[in-house]
Amino acid sequence: MTLTLLITVGVPLFIVFAIIYSDKFREPTDLVIKTFFAGVIICFPAAELNYLLIPSYEYSYRAGFTEETLKFLVLYFYIRPKSAFNEPMDAIVYGVIVSLGFATFENISYVYSGNFEVDSFSLAIMRAVSAIPMHATCGIIMGYFFGLYAFTHSKQFLIKSIIFPIGIHATYNFLTGYDFFFLYFLVAVMVYARGLHTEFAELQLKKVREDETKVI
């Protein structure tokens, strides 16, 4: 029981701390915590929307639209106006945090629901290597393009910041019905997301101050 809970909650929290400490200029603790719980809160409207839009498993890809849109709204309406949001990497950090706030609560709901054929421990392991990394990856990709939008004001990046995560999440959910193809897809998008994160990290290395302007 304790090990199951540790995996269920510990894996997403580990990724949250990893993304926080990958940021050269740390974000305010209070805003980090509030953003994480904003991710938890949007689980409730997401559950209602998914209930309405997903009558059976073959329509599970629609969750990509509801869940990623709600995460995007947190970034756009809650994070974007904050004074602490003052460089592109911040968008990746907050994108991952809201995604994993959502994923942590969702993980607890799935693992302890008792609605699956596998036991809770096995389900926790399965989600730790699949669903949790998927949510984190979508957060990085959403954050990357949202960061470009916020500091270049190009609408094409705003569109990509919502369309790409929706497409990735929907494709992942669709492929879960076809053996292990979803894992190959997940690895590919994780490699892509790592490249995006590295790009912003290297941009940070050239800066002395967080609010210092650098060409993107």
Domain limits of the chain? 2-205
Q: How far is it, in rounded angstroms, from Cα 18 to Cα 3?
A: 21
Residue 216 predicted with pLDDT over 60: no
Residue 179 φ/ψ region, left for φ over 0, alpha for ψ in the -120 to 50 degree band, beta for the rest? left
Share of the chain above pLDDT 90, in %: 86
Whole-number pLDDT of residue 89? 97
Task: Write out the two tokens for 10.
Answer: 């510990």
C-alpha of 135 from chain center? 4
pLDDT range class, residue 1, cuts 50, 70, 90? low
Task: Output the pTM of the full model.
Answer: 0.95
Q: How far is it, in rounded angstroms, from Cα 89 to Cα 93?
A: 6
Whole-number pLDDT of residue 167? 98
Within 8 A by CB and 6+ apart from 33, the residues are none
Residue 215 predicted with pLDDT over 60: no
Whole-number pLDDT of residue 115? 79
Under 8 Å between Cβ of 164 and 64: no
Q: For residue 144, which of 82, 90, 69, 214 has the smallest C-alpha distance?
A: 90
Whole-number pLDDT of residue 206? 87
Whole-number pLDDT of residue 180? 85
Tens digits of residue pLDDT in 83-100: 999 999 999 999 999 999
Tens digits of residue pLDDT in 107-154: 999 999 877 778 999 999 999 999 999 999 999 999 999 999 999 999
Q: For residue 169, which of 123, 211, 201, 130 has the smallest C-alpha distance?
A: 130
